[in-house]
Amino acid sequence: MKYESVDQLQKALTEDVFHYAKDSKKAAGRALGTIVEIITFYLLKAWKLDSTVSIEKRIPEYGNPDITHNVEYSFHPVLNEYKIRITNSGSSVTAGRILKALETGLDITYFEKTSNNLLSKDGVLRNACTIAVSDNSYLVASIRRKTDEEIIVSVVEQSNRPFAIFECKRVGVEEGTKKGPQTIEKAKQGAYVARCVSSLQKVRLNNGELYGVIYRGENVLYSEPYHELLAKVVNSDDAELLEHFILTVGVVSNHGNWFTSKDHNKELKVLAQSYDWLIFLSDFGMTEFIGDLILNPLPEYEDVRKAFLASYSADKKKNQFTKVQINFNASEALKKYFSENIKRIERWFNVIAPPAGNIRQVKDEIKRLKSKSWEEIL
């Protein structure tokens, strides 16, 4: 069954899945927010950008490192990459096991081990699993292949300085409720982070025109119309322009009267003027994802439905359907779904800002930044 709006979809989830909850509608709304984050992450994996991605890292403000902000996804230069094989004994794949296998190819004395498990003995995967940290970098592990005999693990050393961030926002108003201050305040929180983490700063003239200003060293400020300067930085190999630059991308989804096709409400205007790119996940995309993978999945995607129901049932033991922790088989099914349907999935997204942009330009800009000579720049 296709749903015409996210509100209708939320009603269906409320009745079919969250009927046990004290506030079933609120529980369904939280689950929809999680689904937006999962869609975003597996889109990035389908774009083959996951080696650069960290999840929920604290990003310092530009020029003001005492203040940091937790962001959903940050993209980091890859300094080194390793591949190791671990015997599949059925026990958890811990940070310690991975680091022990790395010892022959990497001096790990400069790193502090984390307590994270890449894969639990119950089959729960930790996406973008940070296994160790140093003063300047992270070691992030992911599973490339798993058989009954062995697990092939990829470990990348990421610089702790990101070149892009993605944040997911779903702060619109539910059907039947009045607009409240929490809506605009959540939008302002996201806007503040987007405007403070990058060296490329925004200045608005009294005629409304947006200019960009970037510090080039030796007390030199450089300014141009914002989107012209943004394009110049992304396409540049100039270390002074790139060293502290962060491309900011916001992903928003509809919730009741978030906006109409002709009239963006205040929340959306606040976010659109703050992120370099603001992308809208359409109602059609959200309902298609949930219909295909949760409510009426084909047999090859049944593991996604099982993981969702196991995470949101009245007697759940552990959530295994989030951007951070997800059932391994569900993750494999999601990778298959996104890989085989990527062109259709890209059409789920509409670019709100800049007005003439499209989703593939976002992908191209991140890939362009990923390919820079970061070891020389940093």
pLDDT per position as a tens digit, 256-299: 545 544 556 778 888 999 999 999 998 889 889 998 999 889 99
Q: What is the pTM of this model?
A: 0.92
The tens place of each residue's pLDDT in the chain, 378 residues long, gives 556 666 677 777 776 666 666 666 666 777 888 999 999 999 999 999 999 999 999 999 999 999 999 999 999 999 999 999 999 999 999 999 999 999 877 888 899 999 999 999 999 999 999 999 999 999 999 999 999 999 999 999 999 999 999 999 875 555 545 554 456 788 899 999 999 999 999 999 999 999 999 998 888 999 999 999 999 999 999 999 999 999 999 999 876 545 544 556 778 888 999 999 999 998 889 889 998 999 889 999 999 999 998 887 777 677 899 999 999 999 999 999 999 999 999 999 999 999 889 999 999 999 999 999 999 998
What mean pLDDT, rounded, does the chain reach? 89
According to DSSP H, which parts of 112-249 are helical?
181-196, 226-234, 239-242
Residue 120 phi, psi dihedral angles, 5° rounding:
-80, 165
CA dihedral defined by 103, 105, 109, 110, rounded to 10 degrees? -140
The answer to whether 31 touches 13, Cβ cutoff 8 Å, is yes
Going by their DSSP bridges, the two strands 247-253 and 277-281 should be labelled as: parallel
The burial of 204, by beta-carbon neighbours within 10 Å (0-12 exposed, 13-18 middle, 19 or more buried), is given as exposed
Judged by DSSP in three states, 67 sits in strand
The CB-based long-range contact list for 105-110 (8 Å cut-off, 24+ gap) reads: 106/80, 106/82, 108/132, 108/139, 110/134, 110/135
Q: Which value, in Å, is the radius of gyration of the alpha carbons in the chain?
A: 21
Give the Cα separation of 181 and 363 in Å (integer).
Answer: 34
Residues in the chain: 378
Strand partners for 117: 94
Return the structure tokens found at 255.
């919730």
Q: What is the pLDDT of residue 183?
A: 67
Beta-carbon-side half-sphere exposure of residue 248 (alpha carbons within 13 Å): 27
What do you get for the CA distance between the two ends of the chain, in Å? 51
The answer to whether 163 touches 76, Cβ cutoff 8 Å, is yes
Cα–Cα nearest to 78, from 137, 158, 3: 158
Strand partners for 74: 54, 165
Q: What is the pLDDT of residue 180?
A: 45
Q: What is the pLDDT of residue 181?
A: 43
Give the Cα separation of 156 and 174 in Å (integer).
Answer: 41
Strand partners for 63: none
Q: What is the pLDDT of residue 261?
A: 45
